[in-house]
Amino acid sequence: MEIVAFIPQSFVDWKGKVAAVIFTAGCSLRCGYCHNPELLENPPLLSTDDVLAKLRGLAWSLDGLVITGGEPTLQKDLAEFCEKVRALGIKVKLDTNGTLPERVKEVLPHTDFVAMDVKAPFDDEKMFLVTQKRGVVDAMKDSMRMIVDSGVEHEFRTTWDPQLAPEDLLEIAKLVPTHWVIQQFRPNKCYDAKYLQKKTTDYDLLKATAEKAEGPKSVAIRSELNGEEEIR
């Protein structure tokens, strides 16, 4: 595992749980608003054995471990690592962008919660606008279908890229059959410097758009100041 950073305790990365967090290196996308650009270009790595040792010592105080990035499914030994974590009595939450469905399929049986980002409408041009990558939509569709069918607790979430209109967010909502979360964009340490000049997503617009969403069984919004608010 290419682990870049380890947080021993977090109260915000897995709702309702005390969780440690690890960040993995590399990503298959290049979203301009990404808040972790330091993970993308050969960052120094932590020892996987050392991280597991720390988790073993913390197991009594943790509900779970959040594996985020970057894109964790780039790690070939991800499923094996998740199995080792769960053997410590620690549940696993995986964050993914869904671009590697075969790896998602492999790791799903070893997870307790999956959060998949739906970056844009499933249109190649819109997806490229947000992620700077083409040809990833079909892979994302496959991952979404597998997550829904797996029975693993999950959510689909969208950070509102300032380049997307409310209508684009409503198109994304139609793709999600289960639980959808719209996350507020904040101009903070972004991969693309031009995003630092953009405005934080207006909270009232965030809420109004979520209220119009058709498709998901349940909808929530997340913002820096207001936390998470269930819309329905």
pLDDT value of position 225: 84
CATH number for 3-230: choose from 3.30.2320.80, 3.40.50.10540, 3.40.50.720, 3.20.20.70: 3.20.20.70
The pLDDT of residue 212 is: 97
pLDDT, position 142:
98
- Of 63, 67, 35, 40, which Cα lies nearest the Cα of 51? 67
Domain ranges in the chain are 3-230
Structure tokens at 40: 């993308």
Q: What is the pLDDT along the chain (232 residues), one digit of tens a residue?
A: 999 999 999 999 999 999 999 999 999 999 999 999 999 888 999 999 999 999 999 999 999 999 999 999 999 999 999 999 999 999 999 999 999 999 999 999 999 999 999 999 999 999 999 999 999 999 999 999 999 999 999 999 999 999 999 999 999 999 999 999 999 999 989 999 999 999 999 999 999 999 999 999 999 999 988 899 999 9
The pairing of strands 179-183 and 153-159 is parallel
Cβ contacts of 144 within 8 Å, gap of 6 or more: 98, 116, 118, 156, 175, 176
